[in-house]
Structure 1
Amino acid sequence: MSTSGAIGKTWRSASTIVATKEIGYHLLKIDGYSHTKSIPCGECIKSQPFTVGSHRWRLCYYPNGYELAYKDYICINLMLDEDVATVVYAKHVIYFVEEQALSTVNASPVDIFSSRGKSPYPKFVRWREDFENPKRLRNDSFTIRCDIIVINDCRTEDTSFSSVPPCDLRQHFGDLLDSQKGADVVFEVAGETMAAHRCVLAARSSVFCAELFGSMKEGDSAGVVRIEDMEADVFRDLLFFAYTGTLRATQDEDFKLQHLLVAADRYAMERLKLICEEKLCRDVEVGTVATVLALAEQHHCDNLKKACFELLSSQANMRAAMATDGFEHLRRSCPSLVDELIAMSLALPPSHLRCKYLGYHG
């Protein structure tokens, strides 16, 4: 039988090379920068070892450059601090924590690390005259962050069939909150009403669980729960996080984060509380440090308290903070904190600063 002109079967196939990866970061604080400048060019100070991607790493800090051509620069190298049988592939980026991070994925080409080897070229090269200014160098110290992506094994997968899309649970729950379909509880907050789903909130917060299902169950016959001492926008942000696990873009302002932290603490949403605390730590300023310090003490935010104390370790910052209305609030609400500040100020000249502190206690 003739097969002339017959159309044969079309075979379709596909494959994908998959490289698994692990991501992490390390913070390195240089405290007493001016003293490190005595280190000769080409010599470094190494950070404590840290682990990312099942490998041990260190950061090498060269205060006077890693070679003579860079003696007027500050240089940082990433170092693989272990012996390996083959090589380790990794991408990394290094930046000041005060500055916006670059995209970690696109930060650098893939570097190849052998046993005890450093990245092939130094990062974080900074001209000294540009670096040594009060805005960047505070209290003779600064902190850098190194983000690392370690690329692990590569494998080939058959992808002849359509690949499984990523989980979109967050999007679906966000849509559920927006649509209010199946909502069975209504909250009244500062004159506004918001509908939600008891089961979702109970799963996200032990306090909501107790209030909506337990012995502390709240709400009238119409299923309305009244929320006292909270702004409507703050509670709306709290619900958004409960459903999606993320912050809305409008929540970056410090005063909103402060209120949201209080709400997170009230409803035992620890991850939300930690996110707010971390963001507030980055933006502690003299004008608001007393208010933020009182907030940290009242809601047991140790990292935020530490960030405030670090800012106030400067006598100029301490003097400026004492002139704010927030410091008077701190004195009344958290007298024990003022005692801690007094103890710290005893080592800070001039003497009239200490007298002003002591004057608050008569």
Structure 2
Amino acid sequence: MDSLSMVTATGCYQFKVDHSKTHNMGIGEGIISPKFRVGQHDWTIEYYPQGYEKKNNGEYVSIYLVLEREYVDVRATFEFELLDKLILAAQSPVFEAELFGSMTESNIDCVKINEMMPSVFKAMLDFIYMYNGSLSVIEKLDDCEESISSTTFLQHLLAAADRYAVEKLKAICEYTLVKSIALDTVLSTLELAEKHNCSELKKDCL
């Protein structure tokens, strides 16, 4: 075979991670998969639950495909698919306990959510999976099954974020509610702030 000939190969590898081993990992700390072979080359997958770079403050998961050999001309096109449960557990200690806790069945496929509007839960999931540092309440209201104001929706969303300990979402909701305090919402917002330990929001209501 000509040394310049191109050889194409395809493959699929499933890398299962024991989430209990990632709980206390910091930024830049990861897990490396066993070697697997595709296209006559050895590869590994590197997984960083809190991300690889400190500048991202642990807001993203980092995953890398690594060729276990130097000085070879290899090009790879690849796709990663994360299990939803792993992402939920990484962003919420409550989901982590429900999905991976010691009393949890290993094959659990369903978590029952009570006393929460579906649109609010969907908004929280969208934030967890697609967080980009902002939150468009107007877009989320389009999915709401009830006719409510943006302030009321934010109040429900803050309560959901507190319930599942999604701290970044809770902070964004609190900040947005501070800017929208009005005479007709201040009492309900104050009650919310007291119930969910939002000191800054409570301070601005008083």
TM-score by length of 2: 0.51
Q: How does 1:247-258 map to 2 (within 5 A)?
A: 247-248=135-136, 249-251=138-140, 253-258=150-155
Aligned to 1:106: none
> Cα distance 1:287–1:238, how it changes in 2: closer, same or farther (>3 A)?
same
Shift of 1:240: 0.7
One-letter amino acid matched to 1:235: F
> Cα distance 1:205–1:305, how it changes in 2: closer, same or farther (>3 A)?
same
Aligned pair 1:238/2:124, yes or no?
yes
Aligned to 1:209: 96
Shift of 1:218: 7.2
Shift of 1:286: 0.8
> Do 1:205 and 1:267's aligned partners in 2 also have CA atoms closer than 8 Å?
yes
The 3-state SS of whatever aligns with 2:112 is strand
Matching residue within 189, 198, 212 for 2:85: 198
Aligned pair 1:229/2:115, yes or no?
yes
Shift of 1:251: 4.3
> Do 2:177 and 2:201's aligned partners in 1 also have CA atoms closer than 8 Å?
yes
One-letter amino acid matched to 1:213: F
Q: Deviations over 1:12-66 (max 9, x none)?
A: xxxxxxxxxxxxxxxxxxxxxxxxxxxxxxxxxxxxxxxxxxxxxxxxxxxxxxx
Q: Deviations over 1:248-285 (max 9, x none)?
A: 45248111111110011011111110100000000111
- Rounded Cα–Cα distance in structure 1 between residues aligned with 2:99 and 2:105: 6
Aligned to 2:37: none
One-letter amino acid matched to 2:95: F
Q: How does 1:284-299 map to 2 (within 5 A)?
A: 284-299=181-196
More strand by share: 1
Q: How does 1:283-322 map to 2 (within 5 A)?
A: 283-309=180-206
One-letter amino acid matched to 1:214: G
Shift of 1:224: 1.9
- Rounded Cα–Cα distance in structure 1 between residues aligned with 2:111 and 2:82: 13
> Cα distance 1:282–1:217, how it changes in 2: closer, same or farther (>3 A)?
same
- Rounded Cα–Cα distance in structure 1 between residues aligned with 2:91 and 2:198: 21
- The percent of aligned pairs where both chains have the same amino acid is 45
> Cα distance 1:213–1:271, how it changes in 2: closer, same or farther (>3 A)?
same
- Rounded Cα–Cα distance in structure 1 between residues aligned with 2:153 and 2:105: 26
Aligned to 1:269: 166
> Cα distance 1:211–1:234, how it changes in 2: closer, same or farther (>3 A)?
same
- Rounded Cα–Cα distance in structure 2 between residues aligned with 1:209 and 1:222: 12
One-letter amino acid matched to 1:299: H
RMSD over aligned CA atoms reads 2.7
- Rounded Cα–Cα distance in structure 1 between residues aligned with 2:189 and 2:105: 32
Gaps of at least 5 residues in structure 1 are 1-166, 171-180, 185-196, 310-362
> Do 1:202 and 1:212's aligned partners in 2 also have CA atoms closer than 8 Å?
yes
> Do 1:238 and 1:264's aligned partners in 2 also have CA atoms closer than 8 Å?
yes
- Rounded Cα–Cα distance in structure 2 between residues aligned with 1:284 and 1:291: 10
> Do 2:98 and 2:111's aligned partners in 1 also have CA atoms closer than 8 Å?
no
> Do 2:99 and 2:108's aligned partners in 1 also have CA atoms closer than 8 Å?
no
Q: How does 1:1-362 map to 2 (within 5 A)?
A: 197-217=84-104, 223-246=109-132, 247-248=135-136, 249-251=138-140, 253-309=150-206
Rg bigger for which structure?
1
- Rounded Cα–Cα distance in structure 2 between residues aligned with 1:278 and 1:226: 29
The 3-state SS of whatever aligns with 1:225 is coil
- Rounded Cα–Cα distance in structure 2 between residues aligned with 1:280 and 1:209: 28
> Do 2:95 and 2:164's aligned partners in 1 also have CA atoms closer than 8 Å?
yes
- Rounded Cα–Cα distance in structure 1 between residues aligned with 2:105 and 2:118: 18
- Rounded Cα–Cα distance in structure 1 between residues aligned with 2:97 and 2:175: 28
Aligned to 2:16: none
The 3-state SS of whatever aligns with 1:227 is coil
